[in-house]
Amino acid sequence: MLERLKTGPKVVGIKQVLRALQEEKALCVFVAQDAEERVVRPVKALCTERNVPLETASSMTALGSACGISVGSAAAALLR
């Protein structure tokens, strides 16, 4: 599923993912396993509330790389 982040419409970062979830634009959300829990907790909660699938990436570096950026990312979302 991470491969879809390379080509599909997406947002990267906690703030953008939260906005996409609130606007019901997120199709699937990814969070990094090594991200601080206090950072990703609101994303996980909103995914549960909105029934959006939540996937886990092995690391922030792997998630950033899958999104085509040169830095790590705690969260990313595929958009509808």
How many of the other CB atoms lie within 10 Å of CB of 71? 10
Q: What is the pLDDT of residue 30?
A: 98
Per-residue pLDDT tens for 5-63?
988 999 999 999 999 999 999 999 999 999 999 999 999 999 999 999 999 999 999 99
Q: What is the pLDDT of residue 3?
A: 86
pLDDT at 1 over 80: no
Q: What is the pLDDT of residue 2?
A: 84
C-alpha count within 13 angstroms, C-beta hemisphere, residue 50: 22
Decide which of 61 and 1 is more confident: 61
